């Protein structure tokens, strides 16, 4: 997001002193339209993630539930949800679950993932993530499991994100 420097100083950084994801969700989720605003903010922060228009429904320590409507924008040539849209949904869901669960002084990056497509995905897809709650910012890998369901609650896809957690950079490192 290219913002003028005067505005950019007002926008908190993911590498700031607190957990921006947790703080933002905790402030917004109970407000009218707050979950939609939070979901759009995640999409603005990660524009490719925002391209699927997913909506964060639940977020707590070690858990997230995110939905994505089936529409032309996320479909493939055989009129089902595109494999990469599912991968994007899985990454968004797993990432917000892990980000929410991190200590204030930690950050992460996805180092790899495995994905298993079970059946054609049609209709609204719900992704549910479960992840460990890292107790410290110690450099360590964690597996984040994401299972995706269609509207009839049948599993359409299973994903494991391999995420590397570590300390945020100190101010003099930036």
- Measured at the alpha carbon of residue 164, what is the angle toward residues 158 and 167, in degrees to the nearest 5? 145
Q: What is the pLDDT of residue 4?
A: 46
Per-residue model confidence (pLDDT) at position 65: 98
In the block, tokens 């957990």 appear at 19
Please give the pLDDT value at position 9.
Answer: 42
Q: Which domains does the chain have, with CATH numbers?
A: 5-173 (3.10.129.10)
Would you state the pLDDT for residue 170?
76
Q: Model's pTM, two decimal places?
A: 0.88
- Which structure tokens are listed for 28? 């917004």
Listed in sequence order, the residues at least 6 apart from 97 whose beta carbon sits closer than 8 Å to its beta carbon are 59, 62, 63, 64, 129, 130, 131, 144
CA Rg value for the chain: 16
pLDDT of residue 3: 40
List average pLDDT for each run of 10 residues in the chain, which is 174 residues long: 42 69 94 94 89 95 96 90 95 97 95 96 96 96 98 97 93 56
- Closest among 76, 35, 37 to 59, alpha carbons compared: 35
Pull the structure tokens for residue 130. Answer: 């479960």
- What one-character DSSP code corresponds to residue 75? B
* pLDDT for the residue numbered 172: 55
How many residues can be counted in the chain? Answer: 174
Main-chain phi, psi angles of 53, to 5 degrees: 65, 35
């Amino acid at each position: 997001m290219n913002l003028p420097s005067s505005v950019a100083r007002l926008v908190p950084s993911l590498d700031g002193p607190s957990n921006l994801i947790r703080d933002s969700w905790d402030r917004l989720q109970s407000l009218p339209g707050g979950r939609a605003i939070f979901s759009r903010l995640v999409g603005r922060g990660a524009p490719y993630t925002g391209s699927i228009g997913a909506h964060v429904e639940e977020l707590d320590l070690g858990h997230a539930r995110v939905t994505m409507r089936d529409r032309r924008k996320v479909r493939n040539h055989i009129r089902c949800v595109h494999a990469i849209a599912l991968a994007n949904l899985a990454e968004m869901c797993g990432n917000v679950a892990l980000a929410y669960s991190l200590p204030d002084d930690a950050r992460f990056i996805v180092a790899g993932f495995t994905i298993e497509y079970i059946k054609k995905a049609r209709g609204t897809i719900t992704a549910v993530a479960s992840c460990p709650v890292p107790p410290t910012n110690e450099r360590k890998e964690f597996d984040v499991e994401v299972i995706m369901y269609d509207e009839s609650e049948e599993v359409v896809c299973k994903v494991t994100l391999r995420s590397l957690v570590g300390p945020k950079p100190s101010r003099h490192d930036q």
